[in-house]
């Protein structure tokens, strides 16, 4: 479980996060949604420690990340897996080498165990025969699966995904979303996903936190979204004609 408590973050005179609090439970796909520029990425980066909070606290299973320094933080970071926008694979490394990378860097496993673990993770994302291919030789959806395999290589307790569906077609997006949800449940991870993909929200939004202008405006489940009378949320969600129709029929 990850808890953010009354977080504030500014850049110069731009107050990006204002008093944001929420709890993200283990075994659930927790989504952060909001318009472009609303502060989703800054929130995610603040949670993983790429930005320091100005005020407030980030707590990982009763451990205050905000109050940690040095080695303690480094150790906690080893429990985090990250899936960045655009997959962020190393072009000059093969699929297997990409997945092995965190193991090479942060584990004390021998080479044979690292290769076994990389293969296990690749099988888990249904990518059995791509080990020796390079990222440029596989599709965008396969690249995402490699990135997921790499993110789970160190068996993280916490998984962070920034726009995991960017650049993917709707069908492949669903496959990736379902994979993220499956592994979240299988390993009881606390997963936080930044997205503005409404298909993801409706598909895997077990908890949805809506950020507008740096403030938490609403939170609930995907089922509750359709019934919400929060005006700002509705303006955001039902900007899509398809969802307006869905709501009318619900
Ligand atoms: N490192 C930074 N330095 C200064 N300002 C920043 C920095 N990172 C983000 N911001 C500002 O914070 C605000 C929120 O940006 P953020 O990237 O969190 O939005 P977002 O909701 O993730 O948008 P998108 O969906 O387009 O990725 C923007 O005004 C942005 O300019």
Contact 5, 59 (CB under 8 A): yes
17 CB near ligand 1 (under 6 Å): no
Ramachandran class of 126: left when φ > 0, alpha when ψ lies in -120 to 50, beta otherwise: left
Predicted confidence (pLDDT) at residue 250 exceeds the cutoff of 80: no
Over range 76-83, report the average pLDDT.
Answer: 92
Backbone angles phi, psi at 206, to 5 degrees: -65, -35
Cα 109 to middle of ligand 1, angstroms: 38
Predicted confidence (pLDDT) at residue 226 exceeds the cutoff of 90: no
Q: Which two tokens stand for residue 125?
A: 């994302």
pLDDT at 191: 98
Cα 172 to middle of ligand 1, angstroms: 27
Domains in the chain with CATH codes: 1-79+160-167+194-250 (3.40.50.300)
Predicted confidence (pLDDT) at residue 15 exceeds the cutoff of 70: yes
pLDDT at 227: 87
Q: Which of 149, 162, 137 lies closest to 86, judged by CA?
A: 162
Q: Which of 164, 169, 99 lies closest to 130, judged by CA?
A: 99
Nearest CA to ligand 1 atom 3: 11
- pLDDT band of 132, cuts 50, 70, 90: very high
- Closest atom, ligand 1, to C-alpha of 39: 18
Provide the whole-model pTM. Answer: 0.92
pLDDT at 215: 97
pLDDT at 243: 64
pLDDT at 241: 64
pLDDT at 97: 96
| Most trustworthy range by pLDDT among 103-107, 185-189, 236-240, 242-246 | 185-189
Contact 80, 158 (CB under 8 A): yes
Ligand 1 site-directed mutation target among 10, 41, 193, most atoms within 8 Å of CB: 41
Over range 7-14, report the average pLDDT.
Answer: 96
pLDDT in tens, 153-199: 999 999 999 999 888 888 888 989 999 999 999 999 999 999 988 88
Please tell me whether residue 70 adopts helix, strand or coil conformation.
helix
Over range 33-43, report the average pLDDT.
Answer: 93
Contacts of 118 (CB under 8 A, 6+ apart): 96, 99, 100, 103, 131, 149, 153
Nearest CA to ligand 1 atom 27: 36
pLDDT at 58: 98
Q: pLDDT averaged over the chain?
A: 92
* DSSP string for residues in 201-221: HHHH-SEEEEEETTEEEEEE-
Q: Name residue, tokens 């790429």.
A: 50
Over range 195-223, report the average pLDDT.
Answer: 94
pLDDT at 129: 87
pLDDT at 167: 84
What does DSSP assign to residue 39? S
Nearest CA to ligand 1 atom 1: 11
Ligand 1 site-directed mutation target among 36, 39, 52, most atoms within 8 Å of CB: 39
């Amino acid at each position: 479980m990850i808890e953010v408590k009354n977080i504030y973050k500014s850049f110069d005179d731009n107050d990006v996060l204002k008093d944001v609090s929420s709890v993200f439970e283990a075994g659930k796909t927790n989504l952060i949604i909001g318009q472009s520029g609303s502060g989703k990425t800054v929130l995610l980066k603040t949670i993983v420690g790429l930005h320091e909070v100005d005020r407030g606290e980030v707590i990982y299973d009763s451990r205050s990340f905000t109050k940690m320094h040095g080695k303690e933080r480094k150790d906690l970071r080893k429990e985090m897996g990250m899936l960045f926008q655009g997959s962020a694979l190393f072009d000059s490394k093969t699929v297997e080498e990409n997945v092995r990378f965190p193991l090479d860097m942060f584990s004390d496993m021998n080479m044979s165990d690292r290769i076994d673990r990389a293969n296990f993770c690749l099988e888990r994302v249904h990518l059995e025969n791509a080990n020796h291919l390079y990222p440029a030789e596989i599709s965008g959806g396969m690249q995402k699966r490699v990135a997921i395999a790499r993110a789970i290589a160190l068996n993280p307790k916490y998984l962070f995904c920034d726009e995991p569906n960017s650049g993917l077609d709707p069908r492949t997006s669903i496959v990736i979303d379902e994979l993220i949800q499956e592994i979240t449940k299988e390993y009881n991870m606390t997963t936080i996903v930044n997205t503005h993909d409404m298909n993801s929200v409706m598909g895997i939004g077990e908890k949805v936190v809506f950020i507008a202008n740096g403030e938490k405006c609403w939170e609930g489940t995907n089922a509750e979204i359709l019934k919400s009378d929060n005006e700002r949320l509705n303006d955001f969600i039902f900007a899509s004609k398809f969802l307006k129709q869905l709501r009318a029929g619900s």
